[in-house]
Amino acid sequence: GNLSLVVYPKIIEAMGKLHFRTSYGQNVLRHSIEVAYISQIIADQLGLDGAIARRCGFLHDIGKAMDHAPPMEGGRPATSGGGMEFVRKYGEKNPAVLNAIAGHHGDVPATTPYTPIVMAADAISGARPGARRESMEMYIKRLEQLEGIAKEIGGGVVTEAHAIQAGREVRVIVDAKKASDADAFGIAQAIAKKVEAEMTFPGEIKVTVLREVRAEATAR
């Protein structure tokens, strides 16, 4: 699609490099275009300037094009500040754009509403199912950690815990004899809190606690 942005030549060149960079397997240039569109939609909904939001979103990850940037897989480089200095040097004057580049990971306080908009758009693009991949080893470890937390919180009440939906949901089955409906709600909240505190993950993880009562009778 056509983003129709006026961008300075050196900045265009740097953005072109992002076509050859990936973050967790996601093409960074494609991600930047996606973030630009999503940022514009959010800004329009809030009655803010969609064109500024689009520019902020498009350029937010330009730090990843810096030649000194460390490899992307498995961790983010400390390049947000470098990206901001680079675009400023080559002609970008808009303070909203500069702040979005420097602050979209929360390293620098947001000075305009466009920075949190870009943060939201960035998260939406990265969390889209299938957008990113991780090493199989990391993936399995994350699923095991998720199931482990569920079993640990539930104590002797949890009979089974399964990470499903590629680790975007953990389904927990509790013993109906040992846990009431109210207990089930408490367990779900406690698991969600512990997952938030101990794990890093894109998007969100849903916790579902099932309290199963089975009644059986035999007709002869």
DSSP secondary structure, 33-56, as one string: HHHHHHHHHHHHHTTS-HHHHHHH
Which is the CATH superfamily of the domain at 9-127? Hypothetical protein af1432 (1.10.3210.10)
Domains of the chain, residue spans: 9-127, 136-212
Tally of CB atoms within 10 A around 96 = 21
* Topology classification of domain 136-212: Alpha-Beta Plaits (3.30.70)
Tally of CB atoms within 10 A around 75 = 10
User: Residue written as tokens 């940037």?
Assistant: 69
Share of residues in the chain with pLDDT > 70 (%): 86
How confident is residue 104, by pLDDT bands cut at 50, 70 and 90? confident
pTM for this entry: 0.57
pLDDT tens for each residue of 158-214:
999 999 988 889 999 999 989 898 999 999 999 999 999 998 877 789 999 999 777
